Amino acid sequence: SNDVRDLLESDDPRARLALDYLVYRVAREIGSLAMAMNGIDAVVFTAGIGENSPDIRARICARASWLGLAVDDIANRGGGPRITVPGAVVSAWVIPTDEEEMIAEHTLEAWRAHEGRSSHAHTGVPEPAA
């Protein structure tokens, strides 16, 4: 399924495997970024899974606990905004976002950038290949 809620509710071993892999991959990316950035101050959970799956957030933070992430279970179940215990070396936050609005903003930025470079923008005629 492409819906994490279905996987969380399923007894199918493949659903558990898919969730384990999701948690592993996210924690791995957090670790990779921490290394590349010479440490991190915070992890932000956002969008569908990040905003609505306290179990997934807790599992990811547990997997990345070596960084100093320590989840406050009550804050995590309540949706934050801060979901780590006071004094955690790395804080974790739940920040709501409007994905459709972000896509629209980035599309508009790309369109404006293209319009500024194109001498044919007003005609709708594509520019010749370089």
| 91-111 pLDDT tens trace | 999 998 888 888 899 999 999
Residue 62: band (very low, low, confident or very high) from pLDDT cuts 50, 70, 90: very high
Burial class (CB within 10 angstroms; exposed 0-12, middle 13-18, buried 19+) of 72: middle
Mean pLDDT of the chain: 87
Q: Which one, of 86, 20, 26, 37, lies nearest residue 61 by Cα? A: 26
Q: What pTM was computed for the model?
A: 0.73
Say how many CA atoms lie within 13 Å of 27 toward its Cβ.
20
**Token output for 4:** 């994490």
| 3-39 pLDDT tens trace | 787 888 788 899 899 899 999 999 999 999 999 999 9
